[in-house]
Amino acid sequence: MTQFRPLPQDRPARIAVLDDYMGVAHRLAPWAQLAGKAEVEFLTEALPQDPDAAAARLQGYDAICLLRERSAMPGELLRRLPGLKAIAATGRQNRTLDQAAADDLGIAVMTTTGSGNGVYATVELAWGLIIALMRHIPEECAGMREGAWQTRLGNALYGRSIGLVGLGKLGTRMALIARAFGMEVLAWSPNLTPERAEAAGARYLPKAELLRTADVVSLHLVLGPTTRGILGAVDLAQMKPGAILINTARGPLVDTPALVDALRDGPLRGAGIDVYDHEPLPADAPIRRQPNALITPHLGYSVQETFEAFYGETVENLESWLAGAPIRLATQGEPRE
């Protein structure tokens, strides 16, 4: 059994809530319940990418709270934080947290079980991007503000096809909504079978055929060694002329320079992108300057319902840790009570 680093005895614990970009965490959970036992700070700036700067920023905190995988916690960084005693992570798994290193160092890692409306919210955002691109909503809105009237002709979704790359929980919900729009649903992933696709209301196609056929291609895969760069330059070149690409999953699933080329030189008509190789997205990133890219700042699961669920359980986890009996402990990425 892991021996955790002891709590401070002569002062309140210092806790940092990381990556609170919108400055909303303080009002979405009963943090006041920790008063007297802990001092909580809400950090609205992203953790520095430089390891030295990141370690310096986190010195002095007894516990940190992570919002999903916004801030990576590799073993190299954890080993440079001798005062860190607990991590309150949100979500059931965190693939950018070195759980083995945390266990070795005696850092208690607690997870959450609920996600609010995160799954639904991400799918809803994907459809928002699809509809906005198909009907040129951002451009028409901008034109209206400048006094213009009807400048572009859009397309209906009815009768068109969507290709889902990934047919898990989110992909299956995408298929359900696509059928409501009257679209043909195609699907592919490295491990998908025709039988599983049919059970989810989709028609299985090999990747190249799906890319050549679909009017909309939407990614819903987990990022891992076998899926990183799963859409590269060759794949993007195979897409149907005039198609749109949607990525609300993970940025590195797509070769970003190749995506910019495909938007600029064809065959893509547009792309709706919510996730990036590096987040927050650098100000000079080429995708920011691509006029047919509809880009959003990783809004997928970022809705009030999700954050309330995440931070509510985070406060519960911190209370249990401060009482000396941490709950929802994770080992090697798997949560346990």
Number of neighbours of residue 225 by Cβ within 10 angstroms:
5
Which residues, in sequence order, are bridge partners of residue 217? 163, 245
Q: Which of 136, 220, 269, 298 is catalytic?
A: 298
- Which burial class, exposed, middle or buried, applies to 149 when counting CB atoms under 10 A from its CB (0-12, 13-18, 19+)? exposed
Q: Could you give the domains of the chain?
A: 13-116+304-323 (3.40.50.720), 118-295 (3.40.50.720)
Helix intervals (H) in 268-325: 304-322
Phi-psi domain of 296 (left: phi exceeds 0; alpha: psi -120 through 50; beta: other) = beta
State how far the Cα of 33 lies from the Cα of 39, in Å rounded to an integer: 11
Strand order, beta sheet including 184-188 = 203-204, 184-188, 161-165, 216-219, 244-247, 270-273, 293-295
250 is catalytic: yes
Write out the H or E segment, with its range, that includes residue 176. Answer: helix 169-180
Over the chain (337 residues), what is each successive 10-residue block's mean pLDDT? 87 97 97 97 95 96 96 96 97 91 97 83 98 98 98 97 97 98 98 97 98 98 95 98 98 98 97 97 97 97 95 98 96 43
Q: Does 27 qualify as catalytic in the annotation?
A: no
Cβ of 50: how many Cβ atoms within 10 Å?
A: 10
Among 136, 173, 220, 250, the active-site one is 250
Which of 279, 305, 308, 319 is an active site residue? 279
Closest CA to 45 of 63, 27, 23: 23
Tokens in use for 262? Answer: 């495909």
198 catalytic per annotation: no
pLDDT at 334: 42
Nearest to 21 by CA among 306, 314, 299, 276: 299
Residue 1 has a pLDDT of 58
Helix (H) or strand (E) holding 119: helix 118-134
Reduced to 3 states, what is the DSSP secondary structure of residue 164? strand
